[in-house]
Amino acid sequence: MSDVLTFTERGIYCPAGDFYIDPWRPVPRALITHGHSDHARPDMGRYLATRAAAPVMQHRLGDAAQIETIDYGETRQIGGASVSFHPAGHVPGSAQIRVEVAGQVWVASGDYKTVDDGLSEAFEPIKCHAFITESTFGLPVFKWTPQDVLTGQLNDWWAANAAAGRTSILTAYALGKAQRLMRSVDASIGPMLTVTAVENTNAVLRAQGIALPDTTQITEDVSAKTHPGALIIATPGSTTQHWARRFPQAATAFASGWMALRGVRRRRGTDRGFIVSDHADWAGLNSAIKATGAEKIFVTHGYTGQFQRYLSEQGYDAHVVSTEYTGDDTEEAT
């Protein structure tokens, strides 16, 4: 099998098309799977992304970024490579990138999840010869709470706190998970507040037609007194900022796949943990890989060594590839 994609110090490279996928160093042409900052980085010459991912990317990268768009399923010829983008189910606009050269098909999946969250475009398995997969949660211990159970847990927690006169602070990443949680809860329980990074992302998504419940951005005149019983959707790093002082004795929770590990909630200093992620859990990773029909698997980030060994035991030609993807979005002030 010839290498349709190669792994370089700048990122995943396609020699036939002379482009990179989610590069972490500046390159002339970058195809981007989604808008999280470990995949969509600044200073590329030109970008290509899905029409749904482009608005958030433009907001985060700035007006100077040259972003060309492509629809899901649309085929684009780039040099000697045939390229198409397909839903990854990770966050709105996220994509797997299918690259075909001389009859060989490789798929770079970026980050993905196989469960339809009702917000992101649902994951679409793509048949290929080689599949590049994440393994952020590539251990059997990672199993996500079903959406209906999660919704009940969130509502019960918020309602109990509101009844006790406490604010509920729920931390999640600003793009994807924050909006997923907003759409999961019962907005009749109380007001829903957001920190700046979350509300800025909300505004971009609303402008492209994604329905979200009403939210109020936290400003200097917003406090526990003005909005009793509120649910605050905050980014993980923002809870030490000045605004948090206006919500004393608040109940805190972190929504993350890491909550499946004992001790993580305690180390994060939160009252409650909800087991939910925008990445595939163990079962999701395995079902996605099986559905591709690929024989060669490249594992790029997460529990790479453990997952590669497991895949090899299952008969796959599996390899670990070193990348600069983190598996979780970094804290951003935009």
H or E element that contains 97: strand 95-101
Question: Cα separation of 98 and 75, whole Å?
Answer: 9
143: tokens are 């199993």
- pLDDT tens track for 174-192: 999 999 999 999 999 999 9
pLDDT band at 334 (very low <50, low <70, confident <90, very high): very low
Residues 96 and 123 both lie in one domain: yes
CATH number of the domain bearing residue 288 = 3.60.15.10
Cβ neighbours for 305, distance < 8 A, ≥ 6 positions apart: 320
pLDDT at 265 over 70: no
Does one domain contain both 215 and 264?
yes
- Residue 263: predicted pLDDT: 77
Checking if the pLDDT of 1 tops 70, the result is no
Contacts of 229 (CB under 8 A, 6+ apart): 161, 162, 163, 165, 166, 167, 189, 190, 191
Which token pair is 189?
Answer: 């329980």
Q: Does 332 score more than 50 pLDDT?
A: no
Across 211-228, average pLDDT: 97
Look at the chain and report how many structural domains it folds into: 2
How far is it, in rounded angstroms, from Cα 295 to Cα 318?
A: 8
Indicate whether 205 and 270 sit together in one domain: yes
Q: Give residue 230's pLDDT band: very low, low, confident or very high (50, 70, 90).
A: very high
Beta-carbon contacts of 147 under 8 Å, excluding residues fewer than 6 positions away, are 115, 117, 118, 184
pLDDT for residue 161: 98
- For the segment 125-140, the average pLDDT, to the nearest whole number, is 97
Residue 331 has pLDDT above 60, yes or no: no
Residue 325 lies in a domain: no
- The runs of H, that is alpha helices, within the chain are 54-61, 147-163, 177-184, 196-207, 264-268, 282-292, 304-313
Residue 91 shares a structural domain with residue 171 = no
Average pLDDT in the 270-292 region? 96
- Is residue 49 included in any domain, yes or no? yes
pLDDT at 268 over 80: no
Q: How confident is the model at residue 3 (pLDDT cuts 50, 70, 90)?
A: very high
Residue type, 134: E
One domain for residues 234 and 285? no
- Name the percent of the chain lying above pLDDT 70: 97
Say what the pTM is.
0.95
Q: Render pLDDT for 40-88 as a digit per residue (tens, 0 to 9).
A: 999 999 999 999 999 999 999 999 999 999 999 999 999 999 999 999 9
Q: What's the CATH number where 159 sits?
A: 3.40.50.10890
Question: And the tokens for 320?
Answer: 């670990």
- Same domain for 109 and 36: yes
pLDDT at 323 over 90: yes
pLDDT band for position 330 (cuts 50, 70, 90) = very low
Q: Is the residue at 176 inside a domain?
A: yes
Residue 179 lies in a domain: yes
Instruction: Give the model confidence (pLDDT) of 92-131 as tens digits.
Output: 999 999 999 999 999 999 999 999 999 999 999 999 999 9
Has residue 326 been placed in a domain?
A: no
Give which of 109, 42, 153 is closest to 291, Cα–Cα. 109
27: its two tokens: 């390159």
Nearest by Cα to 279 from 197, 173, 188: 173
Structural domain includes residue 130: yes
Are 311 and 262 part of one and the same domain? no
Final residue of a structural domain among 274, 293, 328: 274
Are both 169 and 256 inside the same structural domain? Answer: yes
Beta strands of 51-93 (E only): which ranges? Answer: 67-70, 75-78, 81-87
Across the range 275-283, mean pLDDT stands at 97
Give the structural domain span for 133: 6-141+279-320
Q: What is the mean pLDDT of residues 314-320?
A: 98
What percentage of residues in the chain have a pLDDT greater than 90?
93
Position 334 in a domain: no
2 pLDDT higher than 80: no
* Whether 165 and 67 share a structural domain: no
Sheet holding 104-108, edge to edge: 75-78, 81-87, 95-101, 104-108, 130-135, 296-302, 317-320
Same domain for 25 and 116, yes or no, is: yes
Please indicate, yes or no, if residue 332 is contained in any of the structural domains: no
- 242 with 306, same domain: the answer is no
Side-chain half-sphere CA neighbours of 196 within 13 A: 12
Residue 45: which residues within 8 A CB-CB, separation 6 or more? 26, 27, 28, 29, 30, 66
Do 101 and 52 belong together in one domain?
yes
**Average per-residue pLDDT in the chain?**
95
